[in-house]
Amino acid sequence: MASGLNGGEDDDGEETPSSNTGIRVKMGQGIAGRVARDGKMIAIAQAHDDSRWSDGPQVDDKSGFQTHSMLCCPVKNSKGKVVAVIQFLNKQGGGTFDDNDIKLTELLCSHVGTS
């Protein structure tokens, strides 16, 4: 699942509309919004036990999806500005995201952001 920021700036500083059709959140709202605001990855082993995920249970209830673990990473452009957030939910096979997952996600986000 990818989360997009509403609009942004291109490399020349011009405002651009967001063409992302994924879930959109406000800066600072929920986990993805915090990652976008702070520019730092967040890994959560048990989402329902994490106070930062305050609106998550309502989202799960509405969607019918059950979130357990979460890995959320900022996507930064070549100038270091956060332009998007990539969020992975529920590690395949169960369990929590490990150091290898984190390294791979950081690598992916760095390539996506500078492409």
Whole-angstrom Cα distance, residue 103 to residue 115? 19
The residue extents of the domains of the chain are 2-114
Q: Give yes or no for a contact between 35 and 74, defined as CB atoms under 8 angstroms apart.
A: yes
Interval 5-47: pLDDT, tens: 444 444 444 444 444 456 677 888 889 999 999 999 999 999 9
pTM above 0.85, yes or no: no
> What's CA 17's distance to the chain center, in Å?
19
CATH number of 2-114: 3.30.450.40
Q: Which amino acid is at 87?
A: Q
Whole-angstrom Cα distance, residue 111 to residue 36? 17
Quote the longest CA-to-CA distance of the chain.
43
Interval 38-94: pLDDT, tens: 999 999 999 988 888 877 888 888 888 899 999 999 999 999 999 999 999 999 998
